[in-house]
Amino acid sequence: MPHFVIDCSSDVLKLQNPTEVLQSVHAVAVATNLFDEADIKVRLNPFAEHYLVGGKQEPFIHVFANIMEGRTKEQKANLSEQITRKLSRFFPEISFIAINIRDFEKETYCNKSMI
């Protein structure tokens, strides 16, 4: 925990090295001091077809951040802004770059190490 899942149009991968994109989101998450570095997971899902942005196939990046509850709205807003800023610097030509954050409930979360 946390999980950062980056959905994007596949043309985005031609503009920047995917590994660098993953590492940059990871680095921003570390820099916020909200998470232990070893717990941060970042994944990239490119879409070559079957997507629309404003009714057209336009380049896009959307990050879905799933984090354990307990952070303030200000902390989450800062995390969102920092990731959006970083990705905007990498991809100045892409108009649609966004992130949303969802909280996991501690009571309902389970992973293998907890069993």
Q: What is the pLDDT of residues 54-106, one digit of tens each?
A: 999 999 999 999 999 999 999 999 999 999 999 999 999 999 999 999 999 99
98's CB contacts (< 8 A; 6+ apart) are 61, 62, 63, 84
Residue in 71, 94, 67, 82 with CA at minimum distance from that of residue 1: 67
Average pLDDT, the chain: 96
- Quick one: average pLDDT of 28-48? 97
What is the per-residue pLDDT for 1? 84
Q: Supply the pTM of this predicted model.
A: 0.94
**64 three-state secondary structure:** strand
CATH of the domain spanning 3-114, picked from 3.30.429.10, 1.10.1060.10, 1.10.600.10, 3.30.70.20? 3.30.429.10
**Longest pairwise C-alpha distance within the chain:** 46
In the DSSP assignment, the letter for residue 35 is S
User: What is the pairing mode between strands 41-47 and 96-104?
Assistant: unpaired
- Quick one: average pLDDT of 3-22? 96
